[in-house]
Amino acid sequence: MSDLRQQALDYHEFPKPGKISVELTTSAETADDLSLAYSPGVAEPVREIAANPDDVYKYTAKGNLVAVITNGTAILGLGNLGPLASKPVMEGKALLFKRFANLDAIDIEVKHRTPEEFINTVANIADTFGGINLEDIKAPECFEIEKELKQRCSIPVFHDDQHGTAIVTAAGMINALDIQGKKIEEVKIVCMGAGAAAIACMELLIQCGALREKIYMLDRKGVIHTRRDDINEYKQRFANNTDQRTLQDVINGADVFVGVSGPDVLSGEDVKLMAPNPVIFACSNPDPEIKPEIAHAVRDDLIMATGRSDYPNQVNNVLCFPFIFRGALDVRATEINEEMKVAAVNAIRAIAKEPVPDSVLKASGSTSLEFGKGYIIPKPMDPRLLKKVAGAVARAAVATGVAQIDLPENYMV
């Protein structure tokens, strides 16, 4: 770990501090170039945009620009460390946008006293960008912030900790249930955690067919049930009419465990209580709710996923968020709606069932990958994600009427 720490610090410091920079896209070598780039030539696109605001997409980089915005209240699994401490994470997000979808992204860290101040700040600068990726904002404030910004902004606003996590979780979960011979509308699901990611994951699984009454959600005080008077409106959606109170109560006979909470909260003895052919997604990072070796030691019939790259079946948001924004921006979508999210789920699912290219095997350090218990979702380096996920999202945007332009000819074919 000490070696990793120093490597990470060196990576961020050298050859120059940070992970992103600004590059020029046009020539700026001569006096004539500068007269076009700035005064007097720049006045011409200014006049055109003033006359027709949509021309901002024709003459500026707005259509390929994403803002990655946070207040630093829920940085990774480290907690509320403030806006400045979140900057390496936001730069990392910008790096991923560029690397995987060739989207330019600028990180913005906002200091504020109230959620209303944060909302006003973001809404007031939103028109600069083609889309807004909210990141590392704690619950329950994140729900209010996203809801208000979606209403006030005419561009896509997407809280990746909620919806990116949910999309990849749903894609892997449905594939895992298919392999295990189970139907999503019939399974009993236990969700350990009741924050932004947990609630979004369960809501999207419901969109995909899971039954709300078969979901048992737990927070730090145990099962969320209808007789509790200490739960917010978002947890209230998952208040189950049950006498069961503990993880051990609800894990008995469960088909699915989804963990978005903290390390080592699920024991081997708990896993033994689950139904035949269970599915466990232990997604706490860097330490999962149960280590795969412990789970596999007590059950040989399970499918296991984590958020880590050193185990099979990594649940990683990079499988979706760059490509969702790519598809949304390419048709100038005004939002990222439920249909677009489900389209992304199905596109990611389908890729895992296809033969894996040699380039992906090499990049992932694998000798072979085939759809099954050890490979239920694609690897992040899979180049097919761009075309298939972005294409599916863009088509869903057009089909649901939130796109402002038609699909470009031969888009992502």
Which residues are annotated as catalytic? Answer: 38, 93
Task: Count helices and strands (H / E) in the chain.
Answer: 17, 10
Q: What whole-number distance in Å separates Cα of residue 116 and Cα of residue 104?
A: 27
Q: What whole-number distance in Å separates Cα of residue 129 and Cα of residue 69?
A: 12
- Orientation of helix 321-330 relative to helix 160-179, angle to 10°: 110
Q: Is 259 helix (H, G, I), strand (E, B) or coil?
A: strand
**Nearest residue to 407 (alpha-carbon basis) of 337, 104, 399:** 399
Q: What whole-number distance in Å separates Cα of residue 366 and Cα of residue 370?
A: 11
If you write DSSP's letter for every residue of 156-204 in order, what string do you get?
Answer: -EEEHHHHHHHHHHHHHHHHHHHHTT--TTT--EEEE--SHHHHHHHHH
Please identify which residue in the block is written with the tokens 């730069």: 91
- Decide the pairing of beta strands 222-223 and 215-219: antiparallel
Q: Is 108 helix (H, G, I), strand (E, B) or coil?
A: strand
Residue 346's contacts (CB-CB under 8 Å, 6 or more residues apart) are 171, 392
Tell me, what DSSP letter sits at residue 132?
A: E
Q: Is 323 helix (H, G, I), strand (E, B) or coil?
A: helix
Q: What whole-number distance in Å separates Cα of residue 365 and Cα of residue 248?
A: 38
